Amino acid sequence: MSTPAPQVKEIPYDKIRAVEWETGRLKLIDQRILPARLEHLYLDHLLDAAYAITDMVVRGAPAIGVTAAYAVVLAARDRYQENPNGWQKAIQPDLELLALARPTAVNLRWAVGQMRGVIYSGIVGDPVPRLLSEAQRIHAEDIAANRRMGELGAALIAKDSGVLTHCNTGALATGGYGTALGVVRAGFAAEKIKKVFADETRPWLQGARLTAWELVQEGIPVTLIADSAATYLMKQGKVAWVIVGADRIAANGDTANKIGTYMTAVAARYHKVKFMVVAPTSTVDMNTPDGSKIPIETRAEAEVLNFGGTRTAPEGVQAWNPAFDITPAELIDAIVTEKGVVEKPTREKLAALMKKVKN
């Protein structure tokens, strides 16, 4: 009598993957054209992947890290085919170029560092199988971490709560499931979250184009608001938690996230709304002492001066377009990671968390 196959636990609201490895190629959802069309790009070379990161084909710190890991596989394949005996030296400029594709997201440098460690681990012969295995491990661990963070974050939320998100922190921004949006997924499944509000997130509209699209695909009701409506929404008493992701968390708990996060945190504190940051421990940078030392990417003026490809500002006007801002640790009620929750974060609490990671 044959033994029945083990039952695989189905995770609700988990259908989307922004980054995949498919038949020897890197496959990305082109997030620049969502929600109008769902299209994939197939990449064969590291330079193409670096451009995809810079041009925001793929975005979100964890997804950037996963993409970078697979990009190193592509580079190793190219360099090994060109020079089987000298590929390790030849790949170094590729790694440096990749690490600079976007400066704020620490996961990018972390992933490149992980792959660099494998490159110098004594690989004999074709490096692709070993490097691909490492990239797939990074990808799988990110998804597992997101699911764990979803559970931990949802446990903090009271039943029938309303929540507000900013930017996109879901499956589109990660290896899968999502960080802050993973908490929304888990909270909705557990009937903790009754209502989801999403900031549109100017100027790239990640909330309007991506978060709203992602939740609609999963069948989770969502209400879109202008960024400037968030404070008034809080005043109405419709939000119990603001839930956001992070591109880098400094050693003292200061957090870099999409521009507009800081003002939302200030408003949340005034209105006694809780503020949750959800990010994997790979986003915690203990070498950066505080938020003032986090490099903030400034993007092209055209992103602010134009809307949907049409200029909306008069000729001659200038624009300032920081992609991120810094939320001070004292405005954060909880940092949720796959290794645990840090409430009212401090340097000492984060150091204890990261010590747990190393052990």
pLDDT at 2: 46
Name the packing angle between helices 92-99 and 46-54 (round to 10°).
10
Q: Which amino acid is at 73?
A: V
Query: Among 167, 171, 184, which Cα is nearest to 336's?
Result: 184
DSSP state of 8: P
pTM confidence score:
0.90
Active site residue 254: no
- Answer for the pair 123, 130: CB distance below 8 angstroms, yes or no: yes
For the beta sheet containing 19-22, the strands, ordered from the edge strand earlier in sequence to the opposite edge, are: 19-22, 25-29, 40-43
Domain boundaries along the sequence of the chain: 19-143, 148-358
pLDDT at 340: 97
Query: Between these two residues, 74 and 3, which has the higher pLDDT value?
Result: 74
- Whether 19-143 and 148-358 share one fold: the answer is no
DSSP state of 210: I
| Active-site pick, 14, 247, 254, 285 | 247
**Tens-place pLDDT, residues 115-139:** 999 999 989 899 999 999 999 999 9
- Answer for the pair 310, 190: CB distance below 8 angstroms, yes or no: no
CATH class of the structural domain 19-143: mainly alpha
**HEC readout, 263-310:** HHHHHHHHCCCEEEEECCHHHEECCCCCHHHCCCCECCCHHHHEECCE
- Answer for the pair 73, 131: CB distance below 8 angstroms, yes or no: yes
Number of H helices, E strands in the chain: 12, 16
Query: Among 150, 112, 151, which Cα is nearest to 134's?
Result: 112
Query: Which tokens belong to 247?
Result: 């591109």
CATH class of the structural domain 148-358: alpha beta
Pairing assessment for the beta strands 241-244 and 274-278 based on DSSP bridges: parallel
Query: Among 112, 46, 79, 62, which Cα is nearest to 280's?
Result: 62
- The band of 264, judged by pLDDT with boundaries at 50, 70 and 90, is very high
- The band of 144, judged by pLDDT with boundaries at 50, 70 and 90, is very high
pLDDT at 349: 98
